[in-house]
Structure 1
């Protein structure tokens, strides 16, 4: 019998709905037919640093259950730790106390993810500080992630590290370098951003999906052009999506595939409305012709 591709489940990132209250954003996505949400912990959406986090998380979990939405926890809020430095401090910061603040945020995110029943916790490395060399930066990254991975293993929630253009960990090859540095811990997984594959990976995005499959724990998706790190609405970049989605379905990936349009929050509801039909059409186009079930002659 020939296996059939897994049905993909689509979500939308709350970092692209930053002008909406969290409850309004979740209701919108459920009404539009999304399967889930990429929930970025930020001051406007389940603030990870405000009081009563556990109680607020329980309320959010109940709301997700009422709406039938799955969730992945994302940690890419721009100014949640430092109002003056985008994504600061990072796991690579020269100051150990500053690095510890980022580690604490990620451990909090793991606890939130466990309480929400999330598929994974997403994170990224950060950029190399001007005063640091790459070798030192890799050492800091590995050391900083160790307690987060311990927390993730205890919670049973994978930590899905995202290769990010311009960061220390920018490519799939960099992810495997980190994996080897850490001794290939079971809790370490991969966030694959399809646009980033188009932007800077040497292989086409569909090939990246196939190569990433064993470690794939979270997927982000948007359009993009080669060599330009600009998250674009579908149809405004260069990606041929049916082969990408067919490759993703064929891997058996069971998490969410989350639309990532953080610079389009000013029109977030409109982009959420048009993105899901686009993805469903592209997924249907990429499905191969049905193979008859094996039968007895």
Structure 2
């Protein structure tokens, strides 16, 4: 399967693009990366931002790496984004996504994406307000997709999350979102399936599994994030981990069973900032080795 890695492991560590590029190619023997906006913020002043983007693109090219996509990281997952109750805040989020599309194009990537935002407790509790936020979200995604097309991108990726006040957070919401956007966007909108999210028992129950998502959503899944979890949180562990319960061989089999054997799989292991740097490199390397072997079983 087509395995790559999200560069979240490099955040606050390998800040020179040349260093993570060498590590990914020479140590991990991978040829595909996903850039996180934690390494390159679309809000930065354009001249300096664009220079950094070109440096990242050049480093990837020098090590024969493909930048598949650019993606929301930790910093821009925190704001309420396109679901903020304040219309001015939602307008700011739209501007952020427009700039994110521009940066992604400079990187030479084909797609941009991430989680879309968070409803306030007040809005989520009221069916009418929740419906209004959803209708506005659809309009916002059409706008962003138009700008993505103008920037030269070919795809926008939406990531479901295991937070009930985020959209989409369930299979049914993801199906509805795909139906409501079909035929209305300048570039196709697909889903990023984060495997760790699908195991979140407090929301989806003790018997939940990735297959619950892969079976009904297979035609919309355009990317898979692969990480390890105990099903009680979203820790983004790697392999091995004493508490991790994600069986990568089963994931690979499920993807192939539903015609997703060619969909890119991106390892998303996010170490803690305080973790030892050498240990982080070993964890990333062991995770890549484990997933490479298990996905082909």
- Give TM class, smaller chain: 0.7 to 0.9
Q: 5+ unaligned residues in a row in structure 2: which ranges?
A: none
Matched residues in 2 for 1:235 and 1:192: separation? 22
- Give the Å deviation of 1:249: 4.5
1:93 paired residue number:
84
TM-score normalised over the length of structure 2: 0.81
Shift of 1:59: 2.4
Aligned with 1:225: secondary structure?
coil
For 1:12, the equivalent position in structure 2 comes to: 5
CA RMSD of aligned residues (A): 2.4
Structure number with higher relative contact order (C-alpha < 8 Å, ≥ 6 residues apart)? 1
After superposition, the C-alpha distances for 1:21-79 in whole angstroms (9 at most, x for unaligned) are: 1412222112221222221112xx2232223233332222121111111222111332x
Q: TM-score, normalised by structure 1?
A: 0.81
Change (3 A) 1:109 1:255: farther
Match of 2:193 in 1: 192
Question: Equivalent residues in 2 for 1:142-291 (5 A)?
Answer: 142-154=138-150, 155-166=152-163, 167-184=166-183, 185=185, 187-199=188-200, 204-206=209-211, 208-236=213-241, 237-249=244-256, 251-252=259-260, 254-265=262-273, 266-267=275-276, 268-284=280-296, 286=297
Partner of 1:34: 30
CA distance in 2: counterparts of 1:117 and 1:209, whole angstroms: 29
Give the conservation status (yes or no) of the 8 Å contact 1:11–1:37: yes
Number of residue pairs matched by the alignment: 270
Mapped to 1, the partners of 2:30 and 2:295 lie a distance apart of 14
Q: Hey, what's the Cα distance between the residues in 2 that align with 1:271 and 1:62? A: 27
The alpha-carbon deviation at position 203 of structure 1 amounts to: 5.3
Please give the residue correspondences for 1:14-93 in structure 2 after superposition, counting only pairs within 5 Å. 14-19=7-12, 20-23=14-17, 24-32=19-27, 33-42=29-38, 45-51=39-45, 52=47, 53-71=49-67, 72-78=69-75, 87-93=78-84
Unaligned 5+ residue runs, structure 1?
A: 1-7, 81-85, 287-297
Q: Is the CA contact (8 Å cut-off) linking 1:120 and 1:218 kept in structure 2?
A: no
**Deviates further, 102-111 or 176-185:** 176-185
For the 8 Å contact 2:236–2:269, the answer to whether it is kept is yes
What is the distance in 1 between the residues matched to 2:266 and 2:105? Answer: 19
- Change over 3 Å in CA distance of 1:238–1:48 after alignment to 2: same
Partner of residue 289, structure 1: none
Residues 253, 112 of structure 1: alpha-carbon distance in 2 compared, 3 angstrom cutoff: farther
